Amino acid sequence: MKMLKNLVRRYLQSTEGATAIEYGLIASGIGLAIVPAIALLGPTVQARFVSFATALATVANP
- pLDDT digit string, tens, across residues 2-26: 888 888 788 777 767 777 888 889 9
Lowest mean pLDDT among 15-19, 23-27, 38-42, 49-53: 15-19
**What string of H, E and C letters represents the secondary structure of 15-55?**
CHHHHHHHHHHHHHHHHHHHHHHHHHHHHHHHHHHHHHHHH
Residue 56 lies in a domain: yes
Residue 9 lies in a domain: no
Number of structural domains found in the chain = 1
Question: In which domain, by residue range, is 45 found?
Answer: 36-62
pLDDT at 62: 66
Residue 52 lies in a domain: yes
pLDDT at 60: 78
Residue 61 lies in a domain: yes
Residue 40 lies in a domain: yes
Return d(Cα 33, Cα 40) in angstroms, integer. 11
Residue 2 lies in a domain: no
Return d(Cα 25, Cα 10) in angstroms, integer. 25
Return d(Cα 61, Cα 53) in angstroms, integer. 12
Residue 57 lies in a domain: yes
